Structure 1
């Protein structure tokens, strides 16, 4: 499975097209079909099509009779737009999605595991403007929690502590 890495500064052209940088294209494993969609943090997610299919399968499991689940599915699927790269590795940014993410011209693409985040540059810079000490505290809180969860193995409903060295 592809795990996208890197941060790339780009500009939309006059026709609202975005060209994927060569270093990012190398990570695509011959994929030119994507789904572009709203994300939670005023950015967009660019999913390789096979990854989107996995996300969509999980959405299908939610209960449409529960309002919160229905609203969540509507938000995630609502802006989903299939994207096909042209011969130069470009695609047109849909206006509604651009508006949602406050994208005008300057863009940051950020590899984030199985997807690529598409940010307005100013929004991205603002999101990253965290004080180093605050970031350190956040890292400690998140990673210590993760470490605590890893302390136990579950085997047939028996919890066995793992010895750490």
Structure 2
């Protein structure tokens, strides 16, 4: 993904579990991308290039590394190759819908080099419980690693 993606986009899943990818995100991800369950059961979407980078990094770890194997099984085992239909929609796999507690309304969130897909209800709860203090602590922690 050459450009950073950002913003929030509300969408609704249809009766066949299809959802339309917003045009701005489609431009960044392409018509073929990778969808997986990430940490905290958040759905992650990555372009082919971003997926290749992450996969190369993950698979370069020793086959004897217990943590690497755990992550490979979880992350790669829950990854789906996605291709958009002629109306820029894709089908959300059943296991993804279940794991991410997705019902009808979803929110796509651009987070730089990837896109997150949340159930609207879970994202609302997340935002309600996020405090200014948590944001400040996160910013201070990241500032330690600033270039």
Indicate whether the TM-score tops 0.5: yes
Partner of 1:22: 23
Gaps of 5+ in 2: none
Q: Distance in 2 between matches of 1:2 and 1:136?
A: 26
CA shift, 1:134, in A, is 3.6
Moved over 4 A (4+): none
Partner of 2:116: 117
Partner of 2:5: 4
Q: Distance in 1 between matches of 2:50 and 2:134?
A: 33
CA shift, 1:101, in A, is 0.7
Scaled by the length of structure 1, what TM-score is found? 0.81
Q: Distance in 1 between matches of 2:23 and 2:33?
A: 17
Following superposition of structure 1 onto structure 2, how do residues 103-114 of structure 1 map, counting pairs within 5 Å? 103-114=102-113
**Aligned-partner SS, 1:34:** strand
Q: Distance in 2 between matches of 1:15 and 1:65?
A: 41
Give the number of the structure with larger relative contact order, counting CA–CA contacts within 8 Å between residues 6 or more apart: 2
Q: What is the count of residue pairs matched by the alignment?
A: 145
Scaled by the length of structure 2, what TM-score is found? 0.90
Partner of 1:64: 63
CA shift, 1:121, in A, is 1.1
Q: Which has the higher helix share?
A: 2
Gaps of 5+ in 1: 151-165
